[in-house]
């Protein structure tokens, strides 16, 4: 189904078709506390829309929606898509991370109550689960994308810099989600587990909207961890799950492989090849997916295809997307066709805004319709794409380009190292220092000096890490990616005494 971004009326048409498909199959939305059959979604959405309208959530006045993955959150999201206001979909505040202040050009804030902190019985009613309040210090949106109708705003993670608001048309975002359905092979018969945040593009555009589109049963998991996932898995018996590499790696430690999966989808950081093979023996098939907040799904493997180096590639560009690799300094020394990835996407975002709704003043995101991803990639035969790392995750040492991802993979070959994340530290005589944070395998003690000594056998002299720092856990962003910004700050500080 192709939806031109200008035809926002198709969002309503899409939702009606999705509800009909799910109702015919007897599918359900659930989150462990609430369950809503597709057959009663129309009634629920009418109730939610009436509640929002009575509190001034109307077209023409952009609002903020803060929600984790839950049935009340999805009902609110769908009601807003039906009613037509432009809105920013943001994750709820985290206790572990101080959230940015709300953008200042939204006059209202709709907060969906978190179910993990709710005690006792709660009725599935908007009066009990939603809070609508004014945004303090808000001002009217300026002319342009901030005040345009039918927009959906997502915030970048900020793991590599200042978070920005990414502007999508609601119809274009939906078109992007539907564009990957043929590769993900979802059907109304599927039971889909979504333990990733719906306020991030992976959870929203790759998992939730495609699963809704086919009328599949969906299990939403707020605050996913291993125990919660396993408990819900034992009840729902999902056929497809959308996982982060971190959660996938934890699930591989189980003793008895489940027999109900058709495949899992993995995005964000990639699984190590040995974990990929192990995951395929447990979940039948692993589908690697690659995308961004700006473009949604850029490339994905086919859930039914077995050709090619599937453990290291992310499949081919989605239909209608063109990709090219542009040479960067030092990439000529790497094997194969390697360069920085640029993408011309059929459903691109509209641009970046700052917190006041004005166009972001940084580097223009597009050049002649092509978006610069800043990812260093290798193109294999048959158009299979391998993501090697960020172009800004590299450093020149002794005149050679050192890619931090290559350094990480080498350190992970050291016995006892489960995960390695390399960042740049302060200046040294050879340039910026290389600091590698290591997660020990199975919680065993890790000797930093021994790990660094082992690196002499695995790496050329110019790529040797200056320092190894063991950690018991890695800081993670809400979407499941490693918080490299936090590790960068830690690398700049002296290590804690042992």
Regions in the chain scoring below 50 on pLDDT: 1-7, 498
The SS3 of residue 448 is helix
In CATH terms, 9-387 corresponds, of 2.60.40.10, 3.40.50.880, 3.40.50.12780, 1.20.140.10, to: 3.40.50.12780
Domain 393-492: what homologous superfamily?
A: ANL, C-terminal domain (3.30.300.30)
H-run or E-run covering 71: helix 71-83
Helix axes 9-25, 71-83, angle to 10 degrees: 140
Q: Note the pLDDT of residue 205.
A: 96
33-39, Cβ contacts within 8 angstroms, sequence gap of 24 or more: 33/70, 33/71, 33/115, 33/118, 33/122, 34/70, 34/71, 34/72, 34/124, 35/71, 36/71, 36/75, 36/124, 38/215
CA angle 122, 127, 131 (to 5 degrees): 105
Region of 86 on the Ramachandran plot (φ > 0 left; ψ -120 to 50 alpha; else beta): beta
Q: Note the pLDDT of residue 158.
A: 58
Q: How many Å separate Cα 244 from the centre of its chain?
A: 8
Q: Note the pLDDT of residue 291.
A: 95
Q: Note the pLDDT of residue 403.
A: 77
Retrieve residue 450's tokens: 């021994």
- CATH 3.30.300.30 in the chain, residues? 393-492
- Of 383, 359, 363, 361, nearest in space to 373 by CA: 363
Compute and round to an integer the Cα radius of gyration of the chain: 23
- CATH 3.40.50.12780 in the chain, residues? 9-387
Q: Note the pLDDT of residue 97.
A: 58
Q: Note the pLDDT of residue 109.
A: 95
């Amino acid at each position: 189904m192709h939806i031109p971004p200008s035809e926002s009326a198709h969002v309503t048409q899409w939702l009606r078709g999705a509800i009909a498909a799910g109702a015919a199959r007897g599918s359900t939305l659930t989150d462990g506390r609430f369950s809503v059959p597709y057959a009663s979604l129309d009634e629920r959405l009418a109730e939610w829309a009436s509640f929002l309208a009575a509190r001034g959530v109307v077209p023409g006045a952009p609002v903020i929606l803060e929600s984790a993955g839950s049935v009340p959150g999805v009902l609110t999201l769908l009601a807003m898509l039906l009613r037509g206001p432009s809105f920013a979909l943001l994750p709820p505040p985290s206790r572990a991370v101080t959230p940015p202040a709300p953008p200042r050009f939204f006059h209202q804030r709709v907060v969906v109550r978190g179910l993990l902190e709710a005690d006792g019985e709660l009725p599935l009613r908007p009066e009990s689960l939603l809070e609508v309040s004014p945004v303090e210090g808000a001002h009217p949106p300026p002319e342009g994308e901030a005040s345009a109708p039918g927009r959906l705003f997502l915030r970048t993670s900020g793991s590599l810099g200042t978070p920005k608001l990414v502007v999508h048309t609601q119809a274009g975002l939906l078109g992007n989600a539907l564009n990957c359905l043929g590769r993900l092979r979802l059907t109304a018969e599927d039971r889909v587990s979504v333990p990733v945040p719906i306020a991030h593009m992976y959870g929203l555009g790759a998992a939730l909207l495609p699963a809704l589109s086919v009328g599949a049963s969906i299990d939403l998991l707020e605050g996913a961890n291993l125990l919660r996932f396993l408990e819900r898995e034992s009840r729902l018996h999902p056929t497809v799950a959308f996982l982060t590499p971190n959660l996938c790696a934890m699930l591989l430690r189980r003793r008895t492989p489940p027999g109900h999966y058709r495949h899992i989808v993995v995005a964000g950081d990639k699984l190590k090849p040995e974990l990929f093979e192990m995951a395929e023996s447990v979940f039948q098939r692993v589908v690697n997916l690659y995308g961004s907040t700006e473009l949604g799904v850029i490339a994905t493997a086919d859930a039914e295809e077995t050709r090619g180096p599937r453990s290291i590639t992310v499949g081919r560009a989605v239909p209608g997307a063109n990709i090219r690799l542009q040479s960067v300094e030092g990439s000529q020394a790497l094997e194969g066709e390697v360069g920085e990835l640029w993408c011309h996407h059929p459903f691109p975002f509209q641009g970046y805004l700052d917190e006041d709704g004005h166009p972001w003043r940084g580097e223009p995101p597009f050049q002649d319709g092509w978006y610069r991803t800043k990812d260093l990639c290798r193109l294999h035969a048959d158009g299979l794409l391998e993501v090697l790392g960020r172009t800004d995750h590299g450093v020149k040492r002794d005149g050679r380009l050192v890619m931090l991802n290559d350094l990480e993979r080498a350190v992970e070959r050291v016995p006892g190292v489960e995960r390695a994340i390399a960042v740049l530290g302060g200046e040294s005589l050879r340039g910026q220092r290389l600091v590698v944070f290591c997660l020990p395998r199975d919680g065993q003690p890790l000797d930093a000096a021994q790990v660094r000594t082992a690196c002499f056998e695995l790496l050329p002299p110019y790529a040797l890490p200056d320092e190894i720092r063991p950690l018991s856990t890695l800081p993670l962003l809400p979407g499941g990616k490693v918080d490299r910004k936090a590790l960068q700050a830690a690398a700049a500080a002296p290590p804690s005494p042992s």
